C-alpha cells in the first residue's frame, strides 16, 4: 500500500514483513530512541494530542514549503509510534501530509499487538499532524 510518503512506505514494508510481534515492537521502540528531544516551550496544550492516555506532543513547522516535525511522549511505545509518523511525514508538503490514508496502519500489522487505546492514540496523533499540516498550508 502506497501512503504518498516514500519514508512511510519503507517503514510500513519493514513492519509488514515481520511476522514476529516482538520484533515489530522492538523496531518501534528503536524509533523512539532516535527521536530528538522536544524543546520545553512546545510542551503545552496547543501541541498536546487529545484522546491519548499518555502525554503526547507534536509540532509541525513549515519551512520552504515542506513540513518539519518534532514531538515527544512519556510512554515509550507511544513515542515510537509518534517517531514513526514524524519520520514518515518529514519533508512532505502540507497537501501530501493531509492526503495520507490512515489505512496504512493496518498494513503495519501493529494493531494486532496494540491495545485499543494505543491504536486510537496512533490515529489521534496522525489526525493532529494532518490538522496542523492543513493549518500551516492555509
Just list the catalytic residues: 52
For the stretch 54-57, contacts whose Cβ atoms lie closer than 8 Å and that sit 24 or more positions apart, written own/partner, are: 54/78, 54/121, 56/82, 56/121, 56/124, 56/125
Of 37, 43, 42, 68, nearest to 55 by C-alpha is 43
Name the residue with cell 509488514. Answer: 16
Here the cell at position 136 is 500551516
118 in Cβ contact with 49 (< 8 Å): no
Of 112, 104, 42, nearest to 73 by C-alpha is 42
Amino acid at each position: 500500500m502506497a501512503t504518498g510518503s516514500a519514508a512511510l512506505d519503507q517503514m510500513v514494508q519493514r513492519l509488514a514483513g515481520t511476522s514476529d510481534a516482538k520484533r515489530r515492537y522492538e523496531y518501534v521502540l528503536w524509533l523512539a530512541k532516535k527521536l530528538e528531544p522536544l524543546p520545553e516551550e512546545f510542551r503545552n496544550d496547543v501541541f498536546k494530542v487529545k484522546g491519548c492516555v499518555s502525554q503526547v506532543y507534536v509540532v509541525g513547522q513549515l519551512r520552504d514549503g515542506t513540513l518539519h516535525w518534532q514531538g515527544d511522549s512519556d510512554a515509550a511505545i507511544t513515542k515510537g509510534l509518534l517517531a514513526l509518523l514524524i519520520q514518515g511525514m518529514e519533508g512532505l508538503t502540507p497537501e501530501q501530509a493531509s492526503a495520507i490514508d490512515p489505512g496504512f496502519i493496518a498494513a503495519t500489522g501493529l494493531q494486532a499487538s496494540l491495545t485499543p487505546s494505543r491504536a486510537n492514540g496512533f490515529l489521534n496523533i496522525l489526525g493532529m499532524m494532518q490538522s496542523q499540516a492543513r493549518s500551516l498550508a492555509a
